[in-house]
Structure 1
Amino acid sequence: MEQWQKDLVEIVETVADEVERFFLGMSEMVDVFFELTEEFTEQVQTSIATEVDQYLQDLTDPILEVYWELEDVVGDGDPGFPYGVEPTPEKNPACIGCHNYHGQVYGGNLLVCAMHPHGWDDESCPDWEELG
């Protein structure tokens, strides 16, 4: 083999080694970049989560205080004020799902429906109509 061929082979081998070292270096740089990106993302998420939690707490605390105060006021309200009562399997089972069910308490007295103001005794009311 002539000298120029030997020099060409040596140059090609040198270039191949340099290219390989370049890509290994780039691979290491990419790995470091991804590690830094992950750390930065974690720090940002932690910071944002902390700030959002604090913001929500600052926002909800006054609302909850107003709610508790309102509950105290409503809880001390007039017991004669009408309120609703749902039928249960223990109390007025014939009225569950009935269109005629009224279920409001007036002055401590439950008005079940217009046909049967005190409710029906067993589980099948003759005036039961499906909600619709």
Structure 2
Amino acid sequence: MEDWQKSFFEMLEEATHEVEQFFIEVTEEALEAVDAFFELSFELSEEITAQVQNTFVNDLDRFLNELVEPMFDVYLELEELDFTDQPDQYVHYVEPTSQKHPACMGCRNYHGHVYGGNLLVCGMHPSGWDDANCPDWETH
């Protein structure tokens, strides 16, 4: 009778060992699958990050080329101009006199600034009024 009990316990021990081996193998396979998943996720994440960075860099480069670069070019051109050589040529004030723009003397609409060599007399009559009686004259 002891033989079948001994065989039973050996068989039970063998079954326990086989089940334990099965779970060890399943765990190892699951860990490999999880590692592969995270590795793939990491690679995809790196790929997506690279694409986003490339898109951002391309958009920034296009922005700089289309908007900022022309403004920078204008700035450089302005920097090359020397406004101190002839300040009167750019903006200055001209008083009306009895010989030049007599209709504007004492008028609140008179502007009298010269821009780039062009006198702006007033908003209604940019070149001034021909005779001494302007219809838009207003006192200060």
Q: TM-score, normalised by structure 2?
A: 0.51
Alignment partner of 1:37 out of 36, 41, 48: 41
Q: TM-score, normalised by structure 1?
A: 0.54
Tell me, which stretches of 5 or more residues in structure 1 are unaligned?
82-132
How far apart, CA to CA, are the structure 2 residues paired with 1:74 and 1:21?
A: 75
The structure with more radius of gyration? 2
Q: Where does residue 62 of structure 2 map in the other structure?
A: 58
Tell me, which stretches of 5 or more residues in structure 2 are unaligned?
87-140
Q: Where does residue 77 of structure 2 map in the other structure?
A: 72
Q: How many residues align?
A: 81
Q: Where does residue 5 of structure 1 map in the other structure?
A: 9
The CA RMSD over aligned residues, in Å, is: 2.0
How far apart, CA to CA, are the structure 2 residues paired with 1:11 and 1:77?
A: 97
How far apart, CA to CA, are the structure 2 residues paired with 1:74 and 1:23?
A: 72
Once the two structures are TM-superposed, the CA of residue 40 in structure 1 deviates from its matched residue by 0.4
Q: Which runs of 4+ in 1 moved over 3 A?
A: none
Secondary structure of 1:45's aligned partner: helix
Q: Deviations over 1:61-84 (max 9, x none)?
A: 211211211220242141359xxx
% of aligned pairs identical? Answer: 16
Q: Where does residue 14 of structure 1 map in the other structure?
A: 18
Q: Where does residue 94 of structure 1 map in the other structure?
A: none
